[in-house]
């Protein structure tokens, strides 16, 4: 992926594919609307969709931020203390096994129908891949570097921050990439179980009213958001990991 | 004997007493009698069954009259072939602690909805009788979580609350529900639950046989509600609780005694209402959306 | 013949045999007593006694796999011995005043050359001393690669960076494991001299495979050999390091050392 | 995590915590049921829950198997060909951003109501973390090993299978750990699309009727399943990665 | 004095100067013409011409960072030169018939020692030859560590495993980058002899920092020096490798080599 624009090229190809399937498969519109219909909706309801996109995007970004922060914190805490690790890691797994979808209704009751429940949802989905990948990376530091650092009287925290942490950045990157890809779903599920704004809300409504074209319009915007987010994260990681071998 | 004809029926929602006649027909052997092998499939997303029916993935689907108008408006090739519950069950419900006593009191309050469009129209009509418009309230998607949302005070009222279920539930939790009925507040009377079939399949004789089985079951259920309750919870032990038991009793009078019957005028008026509320673009002729099968 | 070529630094050998300057005030000697190391059932060495003299270069030689690196790691506190004790002459702990250079260069791939040299300061959160780092880099001939990443360096350049990093540390005790193995003859000789100057008066334990190097730099040489490994009696080299390869004392010691090594080798076979 | 039983100890502690919160916070039952109520349900509906658990467990296992296989396949294909990578990776991201309910009708249409649509859903959720982590691992192989393999006339496939693949196993492990933790969600979401069996079904059903205690009972079982699965995967990985540095 | 110690393998020097056995039938010579390598704007070498003779040891020396490893990698086909050509005398491609040993050992951490030796067979999916592998391991003195993991080996043991892996390959062209740098004098001398025997009649390009090693093993020696680097004229060593360190011809060549190296070195300063 030399080129940050390539995902958009792919998107174009996929739209072409979609066009072909929609036109040739004979699937009715309420199952799979045609791209041109969706485009028409996008044009017609531009302002409306934009407004809801803003809501969802801010939820996604906040969720990604908090989720990454929380995930990194968990990983670092687990690394700092084996005791924490022993107690925390089953809780983390537990938090994942708890299907967000199933407890979403409860989360809405706990955190309200506003923004916070969506962010909590996104965080719940995001933080685990980050924590797991980052922790694995922190743990797998080249022992020689640790020994060298030890001979240099590095404090435990210093070893963590200045040896393990940079060494684990590639692994952290893997986690972050997954997080960026799943962040939108967190926000959408949150909106789905209870909300009055956002792309998820738009989709729910459109779905209930069998306005499949509008639902796909929202879906399309969401995908564009997700791809953009992912491309940005990728770009950032490429900058940050200039030193890591990457043999493609 | 001849091999029974397979019939796949998509339910509207999880299994619940509203669908009792469909299960009773199984318990009393009515399906067998009419040479049918019926499979009842509950969806988790109530929006799914009509679409799958339209796509030919099932023979019949349970849905709602108002929903049908919208589906037809969007071009789904579906028609009503029978009625399961022929009075509205829906209501706009609140609890006494909110202090709301009349529809006018909803001004500036939050109302939970789950099926936007339909329910927006209902709310609009109902509060319209008190001189309010949708701009005077805040609508929040509660995704069918009416009771918890009300109890947790996340909303002040909720449309989509069934009088046999949610209202009962609220009572059982020691709260005093305040119920506003659509048909008493500006909404034409309508059938709550109906059976849909695909246009292409409408002449399939097994549908008539299915509705006949439904009819026999409804009558049997009316005569033997307790016996049938036992059979029901024997099949679904997870549903054996007070709420369902009460709902079972409360729903008895609401099943359509003759599921074949079609009240053309009722459908006509609802079409007009929905056009007026902007839910659908233009009214369809009744024969386009509903048929009364020969019986 | 060979030795005439190293004519760069002729030096009078010091009068006091084997003692040049005194140790730095805070440079302790290190006493190793009855040290034992075993992996599983396999004993690498046992009953090892060694005095690493204060402020002097102690050089350790021995066949590959005999246990030299393990011994160094144990002294550095990086590995726990199976038995025995290690103590500094001043009774204080050893591990927080060493500079250690392992058999691998262990450069951090995300840091530039000069940042790798200042690694100690960075890791401890101390104030960095870029002047000192650049001085070290100049001495090892890498001043112009200061901003290169380790992945852009040749093998010998990486090793020289690691040497600069070790010397930058300026610790009373210095432990080095084959620090010059990847350098060509002349670069090696220059870097050896740098090390000898910079580390004069420190307590140094140096592992090497090059007998000439051992004789140029060491005050005392030991050979580790056998299985379980034993230490040879110390061989003292007359004169002050870095000795000129021409130095007569050096040549004699080298011959003695080769003899010891050969004995060790044939005994092992 | 020396001890495979430790997660269960943690679970016990968490239940105690839950007990305290449920009793002291004054939260009503429909927001947070009390442990003893849930325990009562577990006991009363033992057979019923067990039956549904079996369904879900088989979905999880099948989903995990297929998801891991598909994820690994994606990673390997992307590694084999930069062209595939360029086209596939945005599609993968896209597949993650797509909210399940939006494509649920299509899935049911294509795969029917049976087990297959659930497994497809589980696979959709599982395969991405595996693919992302594994691909990153494959890409970050020590260049020296690749060069050495090249001088040994190793075929492209040989390099992939015998150099990159074992070298990427630690990264694959990270991905698999995440996958094992999210696999239950996959199955549950699958059941949500339409089913009449499984813990997801039980939960949705209980939720629809505000039987929060029953929902929590199912949730508890699900978590136990997830923890067991995760412990097993961990154990397996520890065996497999005997050679990888692990400095905790 | 020093050299008398290497008395292990006295050998008559061959009559035909500088030619011992002929090359193996399928061992090509390698012709390097007008080779150029630059990183960014920085030219490492330019206009380099070199004939690596068929079936002989060609040895390359030079200061650290001068470009030896880069040259080897280019010959191995691992790195593209900025300009110039490399061809085998038989016109066939080079890269599929080389055995390459880099400056790092590059052992696979998940494979045991013996499996690392047979790595080539494993990677190509060929039938493995454990007998041959064990023979190599015996020769480098690691037979008893056959099942150890690389992480359990000492530095020198790792290097010997890598050597065994390279010799196991049995290729007509062998490229080795400082293969003996981590070995002690005696182990080194033994492994050198092993390499000389096993690789006799092959086309070998060997990089080393040890002038003695170069003279013991090489038929022709080259020194790479300067910036951009140039090759010295070849220095031929009389006799057949492995030569005894006592060999008179060797001693003379060593002196000549040291001179060349010194010239290169002082010119660079
Ligand atoms: N990726 C790179 N970018 C920039 N410069 C590089 C890169 N790789 C190597 N070099 C430079 O190329 C030169 C030659 O490196 P090479 O590894 O060939 O040296 P060498 O002769 O083998 O040295 P040594 O004896 O130390 O191993 C060095 O100056 C090195 O810094
Ligand atoms: N983790 C381990 N498990 C088993 N044996 C080990 C382990 N680490 C080292 N050894 C063994 O300990 C012995 C000593 O190793 P050490 O690295 O100290 O040797 P060395 O003298 O430094 O050799 P070299 O000159 O080759 O570097 C070796 O035989 C090695 O195989
Ligand atoms: Mg060693
Ligand atoms: Mg090199």
> Tens of pLDDT along E210-251?
988 999 999 999 999 988 899 999 998 888 888 887 788 888
Phi, psi (deg, nearest 5) at residue C225: -155, 160
More confident residue, A197 or C149: C149
Q: What is the pLDDT of residues C50-92, one digit of tens each?
A: 999 999 999 999 999 999 999 999 999 999 999 999 999 998 9
Length of chain D: 248
**Structure pTM?**
0.83
Which of A126-130, A244-248, B147-151, E41-45 is most confident? E41-45
Counting residues of chain C whose pLDDT is more than 70, the rounded percentage is: 90
- Coil, helix or strand at residue A112: coil
Token pair belonging to A73: 């914190």
| Chain C contact for E7 (CB, 8 A cutoff) | no
Query: Residue B52 above 80 pLDDT?
Result: yes
Mean pLDDT of chain B: 90
Q: Span B253-276, mean pLDDT?
A: 93
Q: Count contacts between C and E (CB, < 8 Å).
A: 112
User: C2-7+27-106+172-268 is classed in which CATH architecture?
Assistant: 3-Layer(aba) Sandwich (3.40)
Contact indicator for B251, B218 with CB cutoff of 8 Å:
no
Query: Residue A221 above 60 pLDDT?
Result: yes
Which among B51, B71, B140 is the nearest to A31, CB-wise?
B51
pLDDT (0 to 100) of residue B214: 95
Neighbours of chain E (3+ CB pairs under 8 A): C, D
CA distances from E70 to D151, E81, E102, E203, E233 (A): 15, 9, 11, 19, 20
E154 lines ligand 2 (CB under 6 A): yes
3-state DSSP helix/strand/coil % of chain E, to nearest 5: 35, 20, 40
Query: Residue A4 above 70 pLDDT?
Result: no
Instruction: Collect all residues of chain B within an 8 Å Cβ-Cβ radius of residue D210.
Output: 147-148, 169
pLDDT (0 to 100) of residue B157: 93
Contact indicator for E266, C9 with CB cutoff of 8 Å:
no
What lies within 8 Å, CB to CB, of E17 at 6+ separation is E236, E238
Domains of chain D: 35-247 (1.10.3720.10)
E100: left (phi over 0), alpha (psi -120 to 50) or beta: beta
| Chain D contact for B35 (CB, 8 A cutoff) | no
Lowest mean pLDDT of A68-82, A159-173, E18-32, name the range: E18-32
| Cα Dmax for chain E | 52
Q: Which ligand 2 atom is at minimum distance from the Cα of C224?
A: 21
| A48: number of Cβ within 10 Å | 13
- Bridge partners of B111, per DSSP, are B139, B157
pLDDT (0 to 100) of residue A40: 92
More confident residue, B80 or D212: B80
The 8 Å CB, 24+ separation contacts for D52-56 are D52/D197, D52/D198, D52/D199, D52/D201, D52/D202, D52/D218, D53/D199, D53/D221, D53/D225, D55/D197, D55/D198, D55/D199, D56/D184, D56/D187, D56/D188, D56/D191, D56/D198, D56/D199, D56/D200, D56/D222, D56/D225
CA distance D154 to chain E (A): 5
Q: Please state, in angstroms and rounded to a whole number, the distance separating the CA atoms of residues B94 and E79.
A: 77
Q: Please state, in angstroms and rounded to a whole number, the distance separating the CA atoms of residues E206 and E191.
A: 14
Placement of tokens 């929902």 in the chain = D215
Q: Which ligand 1 atom is at minimum distance from the Cα of C156?
A: 26
Q: Please state, in angstroms and rounded to a whole number, the distance separating the CA atoms of residues D187 and D63.
A: 7
| B17: number of Cβ within 10 Å | 22
Burial class (CB in 10 A: 0-12, 13-18, 19+), D20: exposed
The CA E171 to ligand 3 mean position distance, Å, reads 30
DSSP state of D237: H
Q: Span A154-168, mean pLDDT?
A: 91
Mean pLDDT of chain C: 87
Q: Please state, in angstroms and rounded to a whole number, the distance separating the CA atoms of residues A169 and B244.
A: 55
D vs E contact (3+ beta-carbon pairs below 8 A): yes
Which among C100, C109, C110 is the nearest to A151, CB-wise?
C100
The closest of A175, A160, A174, A2 to A81, measured between CA atoms, is A160
Token pair belonging to B71: 């589906």
Which among A82, A181, A192 is the nearest to D128, CB-wise?
A181
- Coil, helix or strand at residue B255: strand
More confident residue, A101 or A152: A152
Where does the pLDDT of residue A248 fall: very low under 50, low under 70, confident under 90, or very high at 90 and above? Answer: low
Please work out, in degrees rounded to the nearest 5, the angle formed at the alpha carbon of residue D54 by the alpha carbons of D51 and D58: 155
Q: What is the pLDDT of residues A172-211, one digit of tens each?
A: 988 888 888 888 877 887 787 777 788 888 888 787 777 8
Closest listed ligand to the CA of C157: 1
Q: Best interface-test mutation with E: which of D137, D147, D148, D158 has the largest number of E CBs within 10 A?
A: D148
CA distances from B291 to B200, C249, E69 (A): 13, 118, 87
The closest of B157, B139, B160, B146 to B89, measured between CA atoms, is B160
Q: What is the pLDDT of residues E75-115, one digit of tens each?
A: 999 999 999 999 999 988 988 899 999 999 999 999 999 99
CA distance D42 to chain A (A): 17
Residue bearing the CA closest to ligand 2, atom 2: E152
Burial class (CB in 10 A: 0-12, 13-18, 19+), D74: buried
Start-to-end Cα distance in chain C:
32
Mean pLDDT of chain A: 83
Q: Span C233-260, mean pLDDT?
A: 84
The closest of B238, A104, A101, A98 to D225, measured between CA atoms, is A98
Query: Residue C104 above 80 pLDDT?
Result: yes
Query: Residue A150 above 50 pLDDT?
Result: yes
Query: Residue B75 above 60 pLDDT?
Result: yes
Q: What is the pLDDT of residues E150-203, one digit of tens each?
A: 999 999 999 999 999 999 998 999 999 999 999 998 899 999 999 999 998 899
Query: Residue B270 above 60 pLDDT?
Result: yes
Phi, psi (deg, nearest 5) at residue C240: -100, 135
The CA A140 to ligand 2 mean position distance, Å, reads 22
- Bridge partners of C58, per DSSP, are C205, C220
The secondary structure element, H or E, covering residue A173 is helix A165-193
Query: Residue B7 above 90 pLDDT?
Result: yes
Report strand pairing: E30-39 vs E42-52: antiparallel
| Chain B contact for A218 (CB, 8 A cutoff) | no
- Bridge partners of C45, per DSSP, are C37, C229
More confident residue, D202 or E23: D202
Within A25-114, residue ranges assigned H as helices are: 35-44, 46-80, 82-97, 100-111
Mean pLDDT of chain D: 81
- Coil, helix or strand at residue B193: strand
More confident residue, C7 or D53: D53
Q: Please state, in angstroms and rounded to a whole number, the distance separating the CA atoms of residues B178 and B232.
A: 31
Which of B114-128, C24-38, D196-210 is most confident? C24-38
More confident residue, D205 or E146: E146
Neighbours of chain D (3+ CB pairs under 8 A): A, B, E
CA distances from A83 to A87, D4, D248 (A): 6, 15, 11
Which among E2, E160, E184 is the nearest to C254, CB-wise?
E2
Residue bearing the CA closest to ligand 2, atom 6: E152
Q: Span D185-203, mean pLDDT?
A: 74
| Cα Dmax for chain B | 65
pLDDT (0 to 100) of residue D2: 46
Where does the pLDDT of residue B15 fall: very low under 50, low under 70, confident under 90, or very high at 90 and above? Answer: confident
More confident residue, B185 or D227: B185
Lowest mean pLDDT of A53-57, C199-203, D44-48, name the range: D44-48
Q: What is the pLDDT of residues D63-90, one digit of tens each?
A: 889 989 999 998 988 888 888 887 787 7
Residue bearing the CA closest to ligand 1, atom 4: C152
Which of residues 93 through 132 in chain A touch B, CB cutoff 8 A?
105, 108-109, 112-113
Residue bearing the CA closest to ligand 1, atom 22: E69
Residue bearing the CA closest to ligand 1, atom 25: E64
């Amino acid at each position: 992926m030399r080129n940050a624009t390539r995902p958009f090229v792919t998107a174009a190809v996929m739209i072409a594919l979609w066009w072909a399937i929609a036109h040739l498969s004979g699937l009715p519109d309420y199952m799979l609307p045609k791209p041109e219909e969706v485009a028409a909706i996008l044009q017609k309801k531009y302002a409306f969709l934009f407004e809801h996109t803003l809501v969802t995007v801010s939820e996604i970004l906040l969720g990604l931020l908090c989720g990454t922060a929380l995930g990194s914190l968990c990983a670092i805490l687990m690394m700092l203390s084996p005791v924490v690790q022993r107690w925390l890691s089953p809780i983390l797994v537990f938090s994942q096994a708890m299907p967000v979808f199933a407890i979403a209704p409860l989360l809405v009751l706990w955190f309200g129908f506003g923004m916070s429940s969506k962010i909590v949802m996104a965080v719940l989905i995001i933080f685990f891949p980050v924590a797991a990948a980052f922790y694995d990376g922190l743990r797998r530091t080249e022992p020689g570097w640790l020994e060298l650092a030890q001979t240099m009287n590095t404090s435990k925290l210093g070893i963590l921050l200045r040896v393990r942490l940079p060494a684990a950045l590639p692994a952290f990157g893997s986690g972050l990439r997954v997080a960026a890809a799943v962040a939108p779903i967190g926000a959408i599920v949150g909106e789905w179980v209870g909300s009055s704004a956002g792309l998820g809300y738009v989709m729910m409504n459109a779905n209930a009213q069998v306005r499949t074209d509008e639902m796909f319009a929202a879906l399309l915007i969401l995908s564009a958001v997700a791809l953009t987010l992912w491309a940005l994260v990728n770009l950032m990681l490429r900058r940050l990991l200039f030193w890591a071998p990457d043999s493609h | 004997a001849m091999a029974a004809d397979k019939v796949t029926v998509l339910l509207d929602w999880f299994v619940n007493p509203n669908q009792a006649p469909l299960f009773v027909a199984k318990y009393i052997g009515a399906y067998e009698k009419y040479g049918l092998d019926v499979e009842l499939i509950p969806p988790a997303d109530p929006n799914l069954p009509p679409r799958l029916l339209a796509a030919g993935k099932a023979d019949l689907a349970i849905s709602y009259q108002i929903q049908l108008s919208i589906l037809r408006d969007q071009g789904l090739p579906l028609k009503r072939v029978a009625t399961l519950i022929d009075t509205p069950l829906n209501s706009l419900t609140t609890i006494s602690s909110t202090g709301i006593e009349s529809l006018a009191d909803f001004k500036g309050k939050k109302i939970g909805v789950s099926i936007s469009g339909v329910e927006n129209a209902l709310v609009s009509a109902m509060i319209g009788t008190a001189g309010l418009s949708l701009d005077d309230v805040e609508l929040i998607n509660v995704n069918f979580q009416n009771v918890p949302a009300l109890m947790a005070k996340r909303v002040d009222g909720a449309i989509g609350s069934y009088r046999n279920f949610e209202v009962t539930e609220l009572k059982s939790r020691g709260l005093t529900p305040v119920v506003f009925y659509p048909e008493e507040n500006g909404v034409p009377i309508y059938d709550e639950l109906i059976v849909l079939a695909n246009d292409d399949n409408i002449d399939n004789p097994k549908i008539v046989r299915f509705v006949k089985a439904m009819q026999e079951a409804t009558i049997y259920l009316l005569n033997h509600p307790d016996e049938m309750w036992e059979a029901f919870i024997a099949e679904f032990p997870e549903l054996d609780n007070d709420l369902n038991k009460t709902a079972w009793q409360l729903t008895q009078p609401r099943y359509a005694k003759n599921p074949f019957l079609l009240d053309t005028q009722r459908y006509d008026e609802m079409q007009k209402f929905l056009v007026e509320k902007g839910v659908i673009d233009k009214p369809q002729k009744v024969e386009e959306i509903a048929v009364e099968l020969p019986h | 013949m060979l030795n005439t070529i190293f004519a760069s630094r002729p030096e009078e050998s010091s009068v006091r045999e084997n003692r040049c300057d005194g140790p730095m005030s805070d440079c302790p000697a290190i006493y190793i007593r009855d040290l034992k190391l075993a992996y599983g059932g396999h004993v690498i060495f046992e009953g090892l006694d060694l005095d690493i003299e204060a402020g002097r270069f102690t050089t350790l030689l021995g066949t590959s796999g005999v246990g030299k690196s393990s011994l160094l790691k144990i002294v550095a506190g990086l590995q726990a011995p199976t038995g025995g004790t290690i103590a500094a002459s001043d009774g204080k702990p050893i591990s927080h005043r060493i500079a250690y250079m392992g058999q691998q260069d262990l450069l951090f791939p995300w840091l530039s050359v000069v940042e790798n040299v200042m690694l100690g300061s960075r890791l401890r959160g101390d104030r960095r001393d870029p002047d000192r780092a650049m001085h070290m880099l100049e001495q090892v001939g890498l001043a112009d690669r200061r901003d290169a990443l380790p992945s852009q360096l040749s093998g010998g350049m990486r090793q020289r960076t690691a040497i600069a990093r070790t010397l930058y540390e300026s610790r009373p005790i210095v432990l080095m494991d084959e620090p010059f193995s990847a350098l060509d003859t002349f670069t090696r000789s220059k870097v050896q001299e740098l090390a000898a100057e910079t580390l004069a008066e420190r307590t140094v334990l140096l592992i090497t495979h090059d007998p000439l190097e051992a004789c140029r730099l060491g005050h005392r040489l030991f050979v580790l050999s056998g299985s379980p490994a034993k230490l040879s009696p110390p061989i003292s080299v007359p004169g002050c390091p870095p000795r000129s390869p021409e130095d007569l004392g050096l040549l004699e010691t080298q011959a003695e050392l080769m003899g010891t090594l050969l004995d060790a080798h044939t005994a092992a076979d």
